[in-house]
Amino acid sequence: MTKAEITAPFLKRLKVSTEIDEEDERAIKSLPIVTKQMANGEAIASIGDRPSACCLVIEGFVLRSKIVGVGQRQIMAFHQPGDIPDLQSLFLHVMDHDVSVLGNCVLGFIPHTPLQELIKHRPNIAQALWRDTLTDAAIFREWICNVGQRDATSRVAHLVLELYTRLKAIGRTDGLSFSFPATQALFADAVGTSVVHMNRVVQELRNQGLLEFDRGRISILDETKLRKAADFDALYLHLDPSL
């Protein structure tokens, strides 16, 4: 993979929100990035770690999770190509949660030191990255609402629409469907329900003709009804309004 290919989704993302000039772009392309293939479930960083590099998602998905109480897992975020899921480790040195791989994934590891240099000397990039961590936070807030106020059916509908909307913004959807290698158990961990209940919710959404889960592919069948069931408003994603 060339540097251009590696940094492409990342650059595209940054440019949505911020003026990135040629020198910024050169600086990003000259970062020392080590790419690595990783398989489903592999750990990138674990709670208590003190990482010395950040990981850029190039292909595939990454998730952030935490074990709560007696072994239950809560997933707190899904990350897609162009994201840096553990950028926070630059400033919060101890990991307070786990970061791991979903499906097969290509990651680029960027050591903290050159990244810190980049932030110091390229204010545009610093600002874009800061903004990125703020939209992450906005998504966390929406998840609090999701888990706190909506019933299980709405939660799943909402999560699907979020994934769809974010993936569409980076051109990784195929009409109204997209590839997402998650089992029902994983979805259950993300919306805070049991696997059994998750299964019933999936069936209900299927029977009502709203969406279809099929071996790593999610298809939206009736977007209008799904939006209504989900109580979904994309404002919190802070995407480029032109999309």
User: Which residues are CB-neighbours of 24 under 8 A, at least 6 positions away?
Assistant: 122, 124, 125
Query: What's the rounded Cα separation, in Å, for the pair 107 and 44?
Result: 10
- For the chain, give me the number of helices (H) and strands (E)? 8, 8
Number of residues that bind its own copies (CB under 8 A): 46
Q: Does 243 bind its own copies (CB under 8 A)?
A: no
Using rule CB under 8 A, residue 165 touches its own copies: no
**One residue of 154, 166, 172, 201 binding its own copies per CB under 8 A:** 154
When binding is defined by CB under 8 A, the residue of 30, 52, 72, 203 that contacts its own copies is 72
Q: Using CB under 7 A, list all residues that contact DNA.
A: 151-153, 183-185, 192-197, 199-200, 202-203, 213
- Nearer Cβ to DNA (121/197): 197
Q: Which of 147, 170, 176, 239 binds its own copies (CB under 8 A)?
A: 147
Chain centroid to CA 147: how far? 17
Rounded least distance, CB 154 to its own copies, Å: 7
Closest separation in Å from C-beta 232 to DNA: 17
Beta bridge partners of 60: none
Site membership for its own copies, residue 47 (CB under 8 A): yes
Task: Compute the chain's Rg from CA coordinates.
Answer: 18
Q: Which is nearer to its own copies, 124 or 219 (CB)?
A: 124
CB of 186 to DNA, least distance (A): 8
Return the residues of window 205-234 that contact its own copies according to CB under 8 A: 231
Cross-strand partners of 177:
174, 219
Which residue lies nearer to its own copies by CB, 106 or 129? 129
State the binding partner of 123 from DNA, its own copies, none, CB within 5 to 8 A by kind: its own copies
Q: How far apart are alpha carbons 224 and 209 in whole angstroms?
A: 11
* Residue with smaller CB distance to its own copies, 48 or 216: 48
148 binds its own copies per the rule CB under 8 A? yes
Is there a contact between 28 and 77 (Cβ–Cβ < 8 Å)? no
**From DNA, its own copies, none, interface partner of 194 (C-beta below 5 to 8 A by class):** DNA
Which residue(s) pair with 98 in the sheet? 65
Cα 86 to chain centroid, rounded:
11
**CA nearest neighbour of 172 among 81, 71, 94, 48:** 81
First CA to last CA across the chain, in angstroms?
28
